[in-house]
Chains A and B, each alone.
Chain A
Amino acid sequence: MLVEAGHFALALALGLSLIQFLVPLWGARTNDPVLMSVGPSTALAVLACLAFAFLALTVAYVTSDFSVLNVVENSHSAKPLIYKISGVWGNHEGSMLLWVLILALFGAVVALAKSSVPVRLQANTLAVQAAITIAFLLFILMTSNPFVRVVPAPVEGQDLNPLLQDLGLAIHPPLLYIGYVGFSISFAFACAALIDGRIDAVWARIVRPWTLGAWAFLTLGIAMGSYWAYYELGWGGWWFWDPVENASLMPWLAGTALLHSTVVMEKRDALKVWTILLAILTFSLSLLGTFLVRSGVLTSVHSFAVDPERGSFILGILTIFIGGSLALFAWRAPLLKQGGIFAPVSREGALVLNNLFIATACATVFIGTLYPLALEVLTGDKISVGAPFFNFTFLPLVIPLLMLLPFGQTLAWKRGNFLGTAQRLYAVFGVVIVATLVMLAFTAGGPVGAPLGIGLGAFLVLGSLNEIVTRSWSRGSPLSVTWRKARNLPRSAWGTALAHAGVGVTVIGIAATAWDLEGMDTLKIGDRISAGPYTVRLERVVPRQEANFREDVVTLRVFRNGNEIGMVDTMKRLYVTRGMPTTEAGIVTIGLSQIYASVGEVRPDGSIGLTLYYKPLVLLIWLGAVVMAAGGALSLTDRRLRIAAPAPARSIPVASVPAE
């Protein structure tokens, strides 16, 4: 009964979204506040309906109601409760429902922001947002209905894909979706601004938290997915340039660019058209990501069930929204008023440079991801574009961007002084050069990339720190004054520094992967295998029976230079219901480094194939992402108004500072 009510709520939500699309749009055109006020209340009603539907599905999962096909296909009564709940979005239908639920949730938040958002902007935004909701609700109801019933109901379910029965994957999709959907709000605001034909700093101030929040969540989601792939797939890698990963990297890159251009817009009222375009592109890439992952164009854990009908439906949504918004852009953008003017060497200039680099990097990922697909469609040839392509295209774009980052961060708004900036950074630069040289000397003969990359990472971290220090410390001032000044710096300045330092931390972690060591062998009980200074000895192999899987537990004793430092288990599992094997890597964390053991096959004679990796500083890769997200969150808490303090022109003539 609850299931049917949930299904009906979904249908009601579609009707409400239709009203939420039509009436506020009409109200904004006729400037009628009553019609526009329908937007917020329907947005809340849509949220209520979708929350109810989601709740109904969750209850069906928790109580193992096998009269629901979706539950049968993805759950099992013996599954632990947490995975029964995460199973709700561990499949195509449920995850799409989560998608629209988050969409409605964000719509409701926009609806509740009464005092800070101009009425017409709010009405148009809610209308655009409702259009997205309509598209996805239609998609769910027509091709991916989670409430389809089976009569008679089977007694037991088919269990969730074992790769997804993991805590990391229980939280990875919601994080990622909050990111994707958050960008949909930026998109809705951008379209609303285009419909209304005006855009200004107020718009940027309203949109910034959405972009920032979405970006932070997407950062965490991607990091989570990467860490999951690292410990669950048993290959020891953390990024594979897999199309599915690229699908989330592209909106992240575009979102990063958007984040920075919104800052320019809020502070200086410039880069308006570009910001709008970026907002559209970011969400378009999110949609593209959803299409790639959901349509079955790519095969991966994510393409739960492959169905051409779904693919063409999402392709339709993609075409309508991307084509429609770009057409709207082409039509209305020339009407937007241009704002603030700035010198090439200035913070704005640096951010433009940042945008150029990131947009180009995003384009290379786009080409590397879609070119093989397009080629396959056109000629039938299968080619795979992997790490070498991205190493030759993506890295040469990102490395200069990162090298310039500390300089840009130090430049003043409106008109900066490159020499002065360099002077403020020379100490950091010197320290980093010396440290890199020392590292190179000590690791002579090893990979050159590692010390250079670590030097770059250190430059980013110290450069960010330097920004805080130089803004609060002046020669001769006592420490207490410096501390007070530092504390008085806006939280957004701290957030910026933290996020940029996080990039540096990740860069250090990535660079250190060049020092990875590995060993691979077939072991019998008592045999040893080494990677770098670490050795493991195979102690025992014990079979174990759990609720929904059987596993061989391989216990290893770990030594460093001959001294024992502990034990670690690594498992090879067989999920009985699906007959699907998985590996659970055995990981020992030593400081920021990890030892990573992965079982290959267990032979009948008791010997096992084992791969052992020593990965120095590997945790920094994900730690850096967490720091980035923390920086974003810190900046998000700063709701003060942002002011770009322009250095006033020295030789005053008014003509040289073009009036706006």
Chain B
Amino acid sequence: MVIWIILLAMTAAAVMAVLWPLSRHYAVSGQADPNTQFYREQIDEIERDRERGVLLPNEAEAAKAEAGRRLLRATGMEDVAVAVGEPALRRRRAASTLALSVLPILAIAIYGAYGSPHLLGQPPVMAARGPATPSDLATAISQIESHLAQNPQDGRGWEVIAPVYVRMGRMGDAVKAYEAALRHLGPDANRLANYGEAMVLAKDGLVSSEAQGIFEQAVKLDGTSPKARFYLARAAEQDGQIDKAKAGYAALLAGSPADAPWTAVVEEQLARLEGPQTVSRQDAEPQMGADDILRMVSGLASRLEAQGGSADEWARLMRSYAVLGQRDKAADAAQRARQALAQDDAGLKTIDMMARELKLTDAQP
């Protein structure tokens, strides 16, 4: 209620600001005409300058003559009439009507169209968590972090936050979180595989012997764990055992459904290994270099371009570009994906969610 009174008072004040000058009896003659005033002052100034010695007498005369000529010309130009009589009164009334009508109507219309008047009466709704948007991610993280600081034995909490760390690129934190989760919840194939993956990512793609041990443990618990098997194959490749790696990738492909989300990546790896030149010993870097990643991404991109693919694959391509820092390409990929998946509502939703997650604002449809 108070707010409506305030808005009303504001409107009234605004209307008054217009009506007040209209209601005054205008005293017009009190003020000297600024036009002639200017040249008079200029002539006085010339006189002062001459006395101070800034101007030579003959210069002063010339300047004075010029100012005098202009003064003559300016005299009588500003002839503001005193507004009296019927027409002036009518004009005032029209202006008052304009102010009284335009101001409240326009203000209320505009505010009604763009404002949030429905919020006026209600107490502010704060702290109610909306759907998890990226904006809330930071909040969620800080909440979980403070919760975990107080209850470090909450393994489930660690398990929740670990993948978030991975996505934010805080790999060291992710490794620690998975460690804690394993400690409190015990080993499990999936958990172990994720832990190993975080370790690999923390070392820029290098599968260390420690990580390899973790993956082997995971495979022991669940022979089908695709993630663990993938990284074991990668480990073999990094050790130079190309054939073993190929066999590992091929087995993984054979054992997984055709539409599994990892198929493309594994195929990519396999194709790379079976490529025309087998990697020579010296070239086989222990790390997956930036070039490899770039090649993988461009391979995926050209495949999707040529043959199309699932929404998940497009989303992965977008994420890869974003991870590589090529945001413009990520945005481009989003556009192409939308074209390719135009008939697929669920797929479009996936792309939109990925775009939002990557904050590709310029790629909104």
Closest chain-B Cβ to A207's Cβ sits at a distance in Å of 13
Q: Mark B111-123, 1 if CB is under 8 A from A, else 0.
A: 1001111011000
Q: Which of A36, A45, A145, A152 contacts B125 (CB 8 A)?
A: A152
A residues in contact with B2, CB < 8 Å = 1
Work out how many contacts link A and B, with CB atoms closer than 8 A.
242
Does any Cβ of A come within 8 Å of B247's Cβ? Answer: no
B residues in contact with A41, CB < 8 Å = 17-18, 20-21
Chain B residues with a Cβ closer than 8 Å to the other chain, count? 92
Compute how far the CA of A513 lies from the CA of B102 in the bound complex, rounded to whole angstroms: 59
Q: Which of A15, A147, A200 contacts B102 (CB 8 A)?
A: A15
B residues in contact with A380, CB < 8 Å = none
Q: Mark B202-214, 1 if CB is under 8 A from A, else 0.
A: 0110000000000
A residues in contact with B119, CB < 8 Å = 4, 67, 149, 151
Stretch at the interface among B56-64, B256-264, B266-274: B56-64
Does any Cβ of B come within 8 Å of A410's Cβ? Answer: no
Q: Mark B81-116, 1 if CB is under 8 A from A, else 0.
A: 111000110011001001100111011101100111
Q: Is the CB of A141 within 8 A of B114?
A: yes
Q: Mark A479-514, 1 if CB is under 8 A from B, else 0.
A: 000000100111000000000000000000000000
The listed residue with most B CB atoms (<10 A of its CB), out of A22, A45, A145, is A45
Stretch at the interface among A111-119, A276-284, A613-621: A111-119
Known: A152-B125, A154-B136, A155-B139. A118 touches B78 (CB 8 A): yes
A residues in contact with B103, CB < 8 Å = 12, 15-16, 19
Q: Is the CB of B67 within 8 A of A643?
A: yes
Residue of A nearest to B109 (CB): A11
Interface set, chain A 143-158, CB cutoff 8 A to B: 145, 147-158
Does any Cβ of A come within 8 Å of B66's Cβ? Answer: yes
Q: Is the CB of B83 within 8 A of A34?
A: yes
Closest chain-A Cβ to B105's Cβ sits at a distance in Å of 8
Compute how far the CA of A644 lies from the CA of B60 in the bound complex, rounded to whole angstroms: 10
A residues in contact with B67, CB < 8 Å = 643
A residues in contact with B39, CB < 8 Å = 201
Closest chain-B Cβ to A651's Cβ sits at a distance in Å of 14
Compute how far the CA of A103 lies from the CA of B226 in the bound complex, rounded to whole angstroms: 63
Compute how far the CA of A36 lies from the CA of B26 in the bound complex, rounded to whole angstroms: 11
B residues in contact with A576, CB < 8 Å = 138
Known: A15-B103, A604-B204, A648-B59. A38 touches B136 (CB 8 A): no
Does any Cβ of A come within 8 Å of B3's Cβ? Answer: yes
A residues in contact with B134, CB < 8 Å = 158
Q: Which of B7, B114, B126 contacts A5 (CB 8 A)?
A: B7
Closest chain-B Cβ to A551's Cβ sits at a distance in Å of 14
Known: A141-B114, A151-B125. A306 touches B22 (CB 8 A): no
B residues in contact with A313, CB < 8 Å = none
Compute how far the CA of A200 lies from the CA of B77 in the bound complex, rounded to whole angstroms: 12
Known: A5-B6, A12-B107. A33 touches B80 (CB 8 A): yes
A-B contact pairs, 8 of them (CB 8 A): A5-B10, A35-B91, A38-B95, A118-B33, A141-B110, A485-B53, A641-B38, A660-B69
Q: Point out residues on B near A: beta carbons under 8 Å.
A: 2-3, 6-7, 10-11, 13-14, 17-18, 20-22, 24, 26, 28, 31-35, 38-39, 41-42, 45-46, 49, 52-56, 58-63, 66-67, 69-70, 74, 77-83, 87-88, 91-92, 95, 98-99, 102-104, 106-108, 110-111, 114-117, 119-120, 124-130, 133-136, 138-139, 142, 168-169, 203-204, 361-362
Q: Assuming A7-B116, A36-B80, what are 14 further A-B pairs, CB within 8 angstroms? A: A4-B3, A4-B120, A7-B115, A11-B108, A14-B106, A15-B107, A19-B102, A31-B80, A35-B95, A49-B10, A118-B35, A142-B114, A643-B55, A643-B63
3 tightest A-B contacts by CB? A152-B128, A45-B17, A156-B139
